[in-house]
Structure 1
Amino acid sequence: MNCLRLGISKNFNYLTMECRRLHLLKSQAYINGEWVSAGNKAVFPVTNPANDQLIVEVPDMDATDAQNAVSVATNAFQTWKDTTAKERSYILRKWFDMCQKNTDLLAEIITAESGKPLAESKGEVAYGNSFLEWFADTARHIDGEVIQSPWPNKQIILTRQPIGVVSIITPWNFPFAMITRKVGALMAAGCTCVIKPSEDTPLSALAAAELAEKAGVPKGVINVVTASRKNAAAVGKVMCEHPNVGCISFTGSTHVGKILYGMAASGIKRVSLELGGNAPFIVFPSADIEHALDNAMLAKFRNNGQACVGANRFFIHEDVYDQFVEGFKKRIGQKCILGPGTKEGVTCGPLINKMQADKVSNLVNDAVSKGAKPLIGGKFATDIGSKFYESTLLVDVKPEMNIYGEEIFGPVAVCLKFKTEDEVLKVANSTRSGLAAYVFTKDLGQSFRMSRKLEFGMVAINDGILSAAEPAFGGIKESGIGREGSKHGVEEYTDIKYTLFSALDK
């Protein structure tokens, strides 16, 4: 395999490993256990957001290719659904082992296509692998129920059965972990899938498929369809409306989630939607301020602010507002180091694409034009590249500013002052989003009150990171439907069957 034939520049520091190590960098889609091109042979480029250089070209598949992938997954389901839970557990464990052994190579690919720092990419691989490990265990605990019968000669049994083919549509911000979190769960349940990764980051999905094949995942159980933004709508339509698809699992924007939900409705299909967030980060006077500041950095600047559970609005009690803001500004200046993801010491990479960079910049510019004040940052770091935006702290933000109510999805922190618990609850809940919330307080009663009254699917008390394989991840309101991770993540891909055994006295 020749590096230049793959379109990889000789100057790419992050991919200077020997050509013999490039077995995880794929330039074809994956259907029915084969590496294939698009039916029409079209391709599109995957570039490094740090410098816009070409990494590789991949197939630009269309609706016909997507239909073929669904048919393949349908055929594979006929045999995969009849494997034992023990068999599925064993294969998932082998996939986990393969990903563990190839952590460094997976991280290099993630950094190449998403731009995040290499250390953070390794963290994503560890996080993604935790789902494969978890679901390998959970596969053997998808249990039913024996129900007390109201009739003396009858027995009621509830069993869980796999829902069928699952369409998986994943985002660019966690291109590996969003694959394993979904696919590990559906495989444990006995389902098969077609994956459509983001056009910005398809290489992580293809690398995951390569390792799944090496782990012994049968042909057709996992299929990866790559498509450019031009073909994304047509491919998505097939994946949502094909009669053989039983469930659509999507992580991404609320806007796109609503479109997919509408498509799924035509066939009354199951949906699992993990959509946008607008997470409040609330600091009360009793909080350990230094601890809150450390966690504010994690909650805001993880993946350069490009995370659905990232803190979006910082509500700080007036008694500790000045102390918190000053400490936040100091930490941002010291710890947010912009640069290419492969450069030593870098903690914040580029934004994923020009659209995202322009969105963040426009939100800040609108706020500043209406009176907001950037205490640090507030502009592009053009000396580094076109998509590097300085880590920013804004104060004096008002409701009439766009940034007040919109999900930023970038390295911009907005600090707002509040007086009372009731006041901050009202403002924090004044959004149609309801994914994650963060609360910092030493008052135990206040902790329980905030957990109960905050209208969000997940609440972290005195912590800025809440994601793991064991808890149920998901939101309420317009932040989604269903849960991922935990035992509930597997149950999303099952149907409950009620069987009545009668005439037992005959």
Structure 2
Amino acid sequence: MLSLEADRGIHIAGRWRSGGAGRFDVVDPATTEVLASVANGSVDDATAAVDAAVSAAASWAATPPRQRSDVLRRTYELMHRDHDALSRLIAAENGKSLADARAEVGYAAEFFRWYAEEAVRAEGRYSHAPAGGARTLVTYRPVGVAALVTPWNFPAAMATRKIGPALAAGCTVVLKPAAETPLTALAIVRLLAEAGAPDGVVNLVPTTDAAGVVGAWLADPRVRKLSFTGSTRVGRLLLHQAADRVVNTSMELGGNAPFVVTADADLDAAVAGAMIAKFRGGGQACVSANRFYAHADVAEEFTARLGKEVEALRVGPAADADNQIGPLISAKAVADITELVEDALGRGARVAARAEVPDGPGFFLPPTVLSDVPADARVVREEIFGPVAPVVTWRDEDELRRMVNDTEMGLAAYVFAGELQRAVDLAEHVDAGMVGINRGIVSDPAAPFGGTKQSGLGREGSHEGLHEFTETQYLSLDW
């Protein structure tokens, strides 16, 4: 395991410090044992973090892009150096399988490499004013101090997906990780310091008082940017607060991803894609397939094949590297999803397949496939955030399109069809920011990640992610 200073887990201006609100425990969801006691940040700590970010802002913005790039590239290399230790740390505090944790470290590190490359691609434009007599010069400047708020389900990737573009653009940051999984953030901040990030450029405030800390940042006129990943409910509250000062915001919120299987789909590919889209990370991802729509001609066979794969899943603690699915993050998560399943069964759905889970301890929920699910069941209408796959049968394509888009969410979707033209046509009619066509994964640091409707604002990753941390300035030159 990486060496951490968890008891002094607040990192401000290059120094570790204890918290103004004491400490809080981090629990392993697979064993319910305490992993570490972490410094608990207060509102005063939040303000001190902004003080440090402001002090470092001018010099970091003025740092040549190549030097900023070098810091990010070195951090990428250090993450790969510590790949095994980081993977075990994520598996311990998050509970996901070791294989999923290893995949997350590789994905997370890639954001630092991508934005190391983007940092030196400074762009702008020069043009003639149409009326003559002037020239137009457009540049992009760092937005300023950025507050980053990350969730527990991808403790490494959600941090690097924000830190990478912020630092590449020339911003300094204050970071609040989820209270369930702060240890990975501590490790990443340590690696950034080792890579040469100057004091005050990256500041970390773990806390159990999320509302107080983030509220203090949003009320501080020196904070110019909020980048948040989390639930739509919390995102709405933060947008209300951000509106008081018209803070530049990026929001990656909840999802309710449909997974469509047409009559001519390759069922082997569809089942393989479903296992990735639904069960990676135990289904605890905003882009996880949430509701499955299988055409009546193939629904029975698709459900049977998917069920066979699900029943073969090995569920248990990540301490056993052969386990494929870990626990949920909390007892409440188990209770909430169990309630959704029971509601569906009460409406006529049936359990088509279910994997075995250990007796305990830990917050384990059996991976489950439900068939004959009514389209209006809660398990279809609400985000599950767990390893349950409800299958709805469809016949009419117009009705399918209505069901797919009948949600306030629009983050991700998946379409499996034999004819590519038809698959693309279906995808173009889905009101979502990302659609996987004949593949069960959409996340890529080089692609713009984000959704429509109440799934968020803005995009992360790709070149668009860099612009989330810049302001456009236009200079009109007399000619």
Quickly name the TM-score band, shorter chain normalised.
over 0.9
Residue aligned with 1:160, SS: strand
CA shift at 1:121, angstroms? 0.7
CA shift at 1:400, angstroms? 4.6
Question: Which of 347, 354, 376 is matched with 2:324 structurally?
Answer: 347
Distance 2:200 2:264 in 1: 55
Q: Which amino acid is 1:103 matched to?
A: H
Gaps of 5+ in 2: none
Question: Could you say which residue in structure 2 is the equivalent of 1:19?
Answer: none
Identity %: 40
Question: Could you say which residue in structure 1 is the equivalent of 2:68?
Answer: 88
Distance 2:476 2:30 in 1: 60
Question: Could you say which residue in structure 1 is the equivalent of 2:343?
Answer: 366
> Does the CA contact (< 8 Å) of 1:285 and 1:319 recur in 2?
yes
The CA deviation string for residues 425-467 of structure 1, in whole angstroms up to 9 with x for no partner, is: 1100000000001001122331231122110000111000111
Residue 12 of structure 2 is aligned to residue 31 of structure 1: yes
Question: Which of 138, 160, 174 is matched with 1:180 structurally?
Answer: 160
Question: Could you say which residue in structure 2 is the equivalent of 1:376?
Answer: 353
Q: Which amino acid is 1:289 matched to?
A: L
Distance 2:5 2:23 in 1: 16
Residue aligned with 2:6, SS: coil
The CA deviation string for residues 256-293 of structure 1, in whole angstroms up to 9 with x for no partner, is: 11111111111001111000000000011111111110
Residue aligned with 1:385, SS: coil
Distance 1:420 1:446 in 2: 14
Q: Which amino acid is 1:179 matched to?
A: A
Q: Which amino acid is 1:236 matched to?
A: V
State how 1:20-169 maps to structure 2 within 5 Å.
22-24=2-4, 26-27=6-7, 28-40=9-21, 42-169=22-149
Distance 2:321 2:191 in 1: 28
**Range that drifts further, 444-453 or 475-484:** 444-453
Q: Which amino acid is 1:29 matched to?
A: I
Q: Which amino acid is 2:308 matched to?
A: K
> Does the CA contact (< 8 Å) of 1:455 and 1:476 recur in 2?
yes
Q: Which amino acid is 2:176 matched to?
A: K
Question: Could you say which residue in structure 1 is the equivalent of 2:394?
Answer: 418
Question: Could you say which residue in structure 2 is the equivalent of 1:8?
Answer: none
CA shift at 1:369, angstroms? 2.5
Question: Could you say which residue in structure 2 is the equivalent of 1:404?
Answer: 380
CA shift at 1:382, angstroms? 5.8
Question: Which of 274, 277, 289 is matched with 2:255 structurally?
Answer: 277
Distance 2:395 2:344 in 1: 23
> Does the CA contact (< 8 Å) of 2:99 and 2:321 recur in 1?
no
Q: TM-score, normalised on structure 2?
A: 0.97
The CA deviation string for residues 1-36 of structure 1, in whole angstroms up to 9 with x for no partner, is: xxxxxxxxxxxxxx5xxxxxx424633211110011
Q: Which amino acid is 2:434 matched to?
A: M
> Does the CA contact (< 8 Å) of 1:25 and 1:203 recur in 2?
no
State how 1:420-499 maps to structure 2 within 5 Å.
420-499=396-475
Distance 1:148 1:315 in 2: 53
The CA deviation string for residues 271-325 of structure 1, in whole angstroms up to 9 with x for no partner, is: 1100000000001111111111011000000000001000001000011111101
The CA deviation string for residues 89-139 of structure 1, in whole angstroms up to 9 with x for no partner, is: 111111111111111111111011001111211110000011100000000
Question: Could you say which residue in structure 2 is the equivalent of 1:500?
Answer: 476
Q: Which amino acid is 2:440 matched to?
A: G
Q: Which amino acid is 1:59 matched to?
A: A
Distance 2:114 2:205 in 1: 26
State how 1:256-335 maps to structure 2 within 5 Å.
256-334=234-312
Residue aligned with 2:454, SS: helix
Residue aligned with 2:120, SS: helix
Distance 2:110 2:436 in 1: 20
Residue aligned with 1:266, SS: helix
Residue aligned with 1:271, SS: strand
Distance 2:392 2:28 in 1: 35
Distance 1:196 1:497 in 2: 29
**Range that drifts further, 126-135 or 150-159:** 150-159
Q: TM-score, normalised on structure 1?
A: 0.92
Distance 1:386 1:470 in 2: 36
Distance 1:401 1:461 in 2: 26
Distance 1:62 1:371 in 2: 49
The CA deviation string for residues 62-103 of structure 1, in whole angstroms up to 9 with x for no partner, is: 111111111111111121111111111111111111111111
The CA deviation string for residues 398-417 of structure 1, in whole angstroms up to 9 with x for no partner, is: 24532120000000000000
Distance 1:444 1:301 in 2: 25
**Range that drifts further, 67-76 or 161-170:** 67-76
Distance 2:92 2:258 in 1: 31
Distance 2:399 2:378 in 1: 21
The CA deviation string for residues 348-375 of structure 1, in whole angstroms up to 9 with x for no partner, is: 0000012211111111122223322112
Distance 2:252 2:191 in 1: 26
Residue aligned with 1:81, SS: helix
Q: Which amino acid is 1:272 matched to?
A: S
> Does the CA contact (< 8 Å) of 1:25 and 1:109 recur in 2?
no
Residue aligned with 2:132, SS: coil
Residue 146 of structure 2 is aligned to residue 203 of structure 1: no
**Range that drifts further, 275-284 or 53-62:** 53-62
Residue aligned with 1:500, SS: strand
Distance 1:297 1:444 in 2: 21
Question: Could you say which residue in structure 2 is the equivalent of 1:235?
Answer: 213
Q: Which amino acid is 1:142 matched to?
A: A
Distance 2:246 2:423 in 1: 40
Q: Which amino acid is 1:66 matched to?
A: A
Distance 2:20 2:317 in 1: 36
Residue aligned with 1:116, SS: coil
Q: Which amino acid is 1:98 matched to?
A: L
Q: Which amino acid is 1:247 matched to?
A: K
> Does the CA contact (< 8 Å) of 1:156 and 1:500 recur in 2?
yes
Please, what is the CA RMSD of the aligned residues?
1.3
> Does the CA contact (< 8 Å) of 2:381 and 2:407 recur in 1?
yes
> Does the CA contact (< 8 Å) of 2:26 and 2:34 recur in 1?
yes
Question: Could you say which residue in structure 1 is the equivalent of 2:334?
Answer: 357
CA shift at 1:154, angstroms? 1.5
> Does the CA contact (< 8 Å) of 2:32 and 2:362 recur in 1?
no
